[in-house]
Amino acid sequence: MSSNVEVEDTFAEAFPMLACRILITAENEKWALTSARTATGFASSIIASPAEAGVEGMMVPPEKTPDGRPGAMIQIYHRTLHELKFQMISRIGQCILTCPTTVAFNGILDAKKYTRLGKSLSLFGDGYQKRESKWGRKVWRIPVMEGEFFIEDRFGLKKAVAGGNLLIMAEDQKTALQATEDAVEAIGKVEGVVLTFPGGICRSGSKVGSMKYKLPASTNHPFCPAIKDTVPESKVPADVNSIYEIVFNGLTEDLIKKATAESIKAASKVPGVVKISAVNFGGKLGPYQIRLKEALEMA
């Protein structure tokens, strides 16, 4: 980590959401990832997307999956149980059930709350579905044209943490992008954490509401370098000309802190990075305050 990079003494403001974790296995990594990426599409931010979802950064090797095939782990988040279950049914039904060779397993083994999602989706079998024990799990086998689709009967749900974030400020766009890509790669190695924006990066960070229009969110103008000389409340340093935001969700607060530390360390190594900060709303949005310097010290 470069000593030339300022890490602001501030916090990212995160909030609780309900989450599920689904392990998708397939004949090979190609189809596991294809299904995982499709199932987590259009899910960058609950501000306007129907859910928040992402693929965990590391593939699950065959020796760690119930059926001995390569797997990809995804997470889906929502505010309420009803909305989360609807998103799970929709995304599994449209993007995993339909994908060649896939099987869907529960990814939260120590959950206190479960939903029998497999039973609901088994109705696609139109009466020909069967429930049985296989791979040490209770699963439904559903006849499909390829052969059979297997889905675990119960999926665990838990209260997780959404909205961990960082602002990576650099001298130019190329440097900012490289540093943010490195930060995303570092977060991808933290099991249990997902980044929901395209490639894990958000170039259009937002603030709550709008000063001029009836919008739920609008551009975070104090952090827009193009108008730093005309906005009195600009928070962009003089030598910063590009800023990227990364937003990440995790199954626990400690995982969010770990991801925060690892991403700061990775981004700080890139020459031309000036400052690293975070977005918060004074503690009004969520109860979790992920303090950047505290996370670094814990790491």
State the SS3 of 220-253.
CHHHCHHHCCCCCCCCCCCCCCEEEEEEEEECCH
Statement: residue 284 has pLDDT above 80: no
**240 HSE (CA, 13 A, CB side):** 26
Residue ranges with strand state E in 79-205: 103-106, 113-115, 130-134, 137-143, 148-152, 155-170, 193-195
Q: Which pLDDT score is estimated for 3? A: 66
Give the C-alpha separation, 33 to 35, whole Å. 5
Q: Average pLDDT for residues 12-31, to the nearest whole number?
A: 97
| Least confident residue range of 126-140, 170-184, 208-222, 228-242 | 208-222
pLDDT band for position 4 (cuts 50, 70, 90): confident
pLDDT band for position 285 (cuts 50, 70, 90): confident
> Average per-residue pLDDT in the chain?
96
The residues, any chain, with a CB within 8 Å of residue 131's CB and separated by 6 or more, are 119, 122, 138, 139, 140, 141, 153
- The model's pLDDT over 35-81, given as tens digits with 9 standing for 90+, comes to 999 999 999 999 999 999 999 999 999 999 999 999 999 999 999 99
Statement: residue 2 has pLDDT above 70: no
Q: Which pLDDT score is estimated for 1? A: 64
Q: Which pLDDT score is estimated for 175? A: 98
pLDDT band for position 24 (cuts 50, 70, 90): very high
| 264 touches 7 (CB < 8 A) | yes
Which helix (H) or strand (E) segment holds residue 58: the answer is: none
137 Ramachandran zone, left/alpha/beta (phi>0; psi -120 to 50): beta
pLDDT band for position 298 (cuts 50, 70, 90): confident
- The model's pLDDT over 199-243, given as tens digits with 9 standing for 90+, comes to 999 999 998 888 899 998 999 999 999 999 999 999 999 999 999
Which residue ranges form the domains of the chain, and what is each CATH number? 6-13+161-298 (3.30.70.520), 17-158 (3.30.70.520)
